[in-house]
Amino acid sequence: MTFTSNTDSSVGCFGRLFKRRKAGTRPRAATSPSSLSSPSSSESKTEKFDKNQCFCPTCDFSFAEETAWWPSESKASLPPYESHFVQDNLSGAPYINHTLGILERKLRDLSMQLHEHPETQFQEKFAHDLLTSFMEDHGFKVSKQYLGLSTAWRAEYTHGKGGRVMGINSEMDALTGLGHACGHNLIAISGCGVAIALKAALEATNTPGKIILLGTPAEETGGGKIILLERGGYDEMDMCIMSHPGPGPSHSFDVGSTNAMQNIEIEYFGKSAHAGAAPWEGTNALDAAFLAYSSISVLRQQMKPGYRVHGVIQGKDWLPNVIPDYAKLKWIVRAPTHTELQVLAEKILNCFRAAALATSCEMTIKTDAPYYELNQNPALSKQFETVIKDQYRMETTCRGSTASTDFGNVCHRIPSLHPMYAIPTEPNGGNHTPAFARSAATEEAHEATMIVTNALALTAFRAMRDEAFFQEVIQSFNA
Ligand SMILES: [Zn+2]
Ligand SMILES: [Zn+2]
C-alpha cells in the first residue's frame, strides 16, 4: 500500500482560521432523469464518456432555484443607471466609468476571440498571448509563463510609492468538448477591465499603489491558483478580487460561499486468473472496488446533508471469465468547509484502505490539493453590495452555490472577494453545459460582466484609497 500526493494537501500549509461559515440556503443541482435510468438486462449498451470530463469538478455557480433563473429569451433591459456616488476623487467613479466605457467594445472582442479558441487546463496558450499583449498595450509590465507555468502570466502597474497592492484574477480555461461552458472568457476580460480601470483611477487621483493582475490557468482541474499560491504568486498582494458568471435571478449578484472539494484517485492491483478453472489463484481488484463503493454507500447514512461524495470505477481488459487484476476509481469529496472536508475525506480513504486489506490488493492513492470553500471578505462584500445598489439598483444576495473553485484557497490567505453574477441562461443550461457556452457568448452576458467589472473596480479603488476602509477589510479578515 502506498500513498502518493501530487501536491502538499496538508492543512498546515494554510495556517489560518477555518471558521465555519453560516449555513446558507443552497440550491440543489437538478438531477438528470437519464442518469437515474438503467438499461434492461437484455439491452446491449456501449458507454462512451470522456475520462477527463467525468473527473472534472462540477461548477454549479447558480445561486437560486432554477425557476428564478434569468431566462435567455428575456430581453429585459438593465435597470436605469442612477449613480448616487459623489463624483470626486474618493470614489474614483468618473475615471473608472469613463475608462470602461472606452474599453467595452475591445473587451467584447477579446471575450469572443477567447470563446472561439477554447483551451483546456494548462493549454491556454492563445489566451496567454492574447491577454498579455492586450495588457502590455495598456501600459502594464508583463511577466509571461509566470512562476514556471507555461500559460500563467502576471501584469503589474505601480503608481507612486507605497500604498496598497490589489490583486486581480483572470481565468482562461475551457472544458473538454464543451468550450467555454463555464464562462471563463468573461472572467478573463473582467480581470483586464478591472485592472485597466483601476490604473486610470490611480493616475487621475494620484493615489499610490500597485495592481497585480494574474492570468490563472487550469481552474476546472489542476488548481492553477493553488500552484501559484504555493509558489508565492500572491505573496505581495494585500487583497485579491475576481468574479464568476452563473445562472441566477435577472441582474443579480451573490457573495455567498462554495463547497470545499478534494479529488481522490485510487488504483487497485490484483492478480488475474481463470475465473472458472482456478479462481483461488487470483486477487480480485474489481472486488476491492466493489467493497470500497459499498462501504462509502453505507457511510452516507452518517453524512451531513451538505456533504457530497461521488465517483466512477474504471477497468482495463475486464472479461467475465478472468479475475480482474486492475481497477481505477476517481472520486470527488465535498463539504461546506475545509475542516469538515478533511474529516470526511479521511473516512472515505479508510473505505478504500479497508477494501484493499479485505481483498489482499495493492493500492495507490493520489490526491490533488484540496479546493477550499470561498471565504468572502465581509468588508469587501459589503462595499460591493453598496456599489451595486447605489450604481445600478440591483440586489446582491449571500446564498452561495454548490460549486468549488481554487480561488477558495486564495481567500484563506488574503482578504478576497469573488462575487457570482447572473447571466441569461437556457432551461437546464447551467455551468458546464453546451447551453451555458452559448450563454457566455451573448451580448447580455457581456453587459452583466461589464457591470460586475465596474463594481469590482470601484470596490477595489476604495480599498486602495481609503485607509480606514482598508483597516476594516483587514479586521474583518482576522475576526
Ligand atoms: Zn467550471
Ligand atoms: Zn468556472
Q: Report CA(47)–ligand 1 centroid distance (Å).
A: 24
- Compute, in angstroms, the gap from residue 58 CA to the centroid of ligand 2: 9
The domain 260-371: what is its CATH number? 3.30.70.360
Please write the tens of the pLDDT for every residue from 139-184: 999 999 999 999 999 999 999 999 999 999 999 999 999 999 999 9
Distance 174 CA to ligand 1 centre (A): 8
**Ligand 1 (single-atom ion) residues, CB below 5 Å:** 59, 182
How many angstroms separate the alpha carbon of residue 28 from the centre of ligand 2? 18
pLDDT tens sequence across 186-212: 999 999 999 999 999 999 999 999 999
* Residue 274, all three cell numbers: 481463470
Instruction: List the chain domain ranges.
Output: 66-257+374-478, 260-371
Q: How far is the CA of 306 from the centre of ligand 2 (A)?
A: 21
Ligand nearest to the CA of 187: 2
Instruction: State the virtual CA torsion across 60, 103, 153, 370 in degrees, nearest 10.
Output: -20
Ligand 1 midpoint to CA 116 (Å): 17
Residue predicted with more confidence, 162 or 52 = 162
Cα 361 to ligand 2 centroid, rounded to whole Å: 37
Q: With both helix axes pointing from N to C terminus, report the angle between 93-116 and 125-137 in degrees, rounded to the nearest 10.
A: 150
Share of the chain above pLDDT 70, in %: 84
Domain 66-257+374-478 identical in fold to domain 260-371:
no
Ligand nearest to the CA of 59: 1
Task: Give the pLDDT score at 79.
Answer: 57
- CA distances in angstroms from 143 to 6, 69, 170, 210, listed in the order given: 26, 39, 14, 15
- Would you say 85 and 383 are in contact if contact means Cβ atoms under 8 Å apart? no
In the reported structure, the alpha carbon of residue 235 is separated from the centroid of ligand 1 by a whole-number distance in angstroms of 26
Q: Report the separation in Å between the CA atom of 358 and the middle of ligand 2, taken as the mean of its atom positions.
A: 40
Whether the predicted pLDDT of 29 surpasses 50? no
274: which DSSP letter?
B
> Does the domain spanning 66-257+374-478 belong to CATH 3.40.630.10?
yes
330-343 tens-digit pLDDT: 999 999 999 999 99
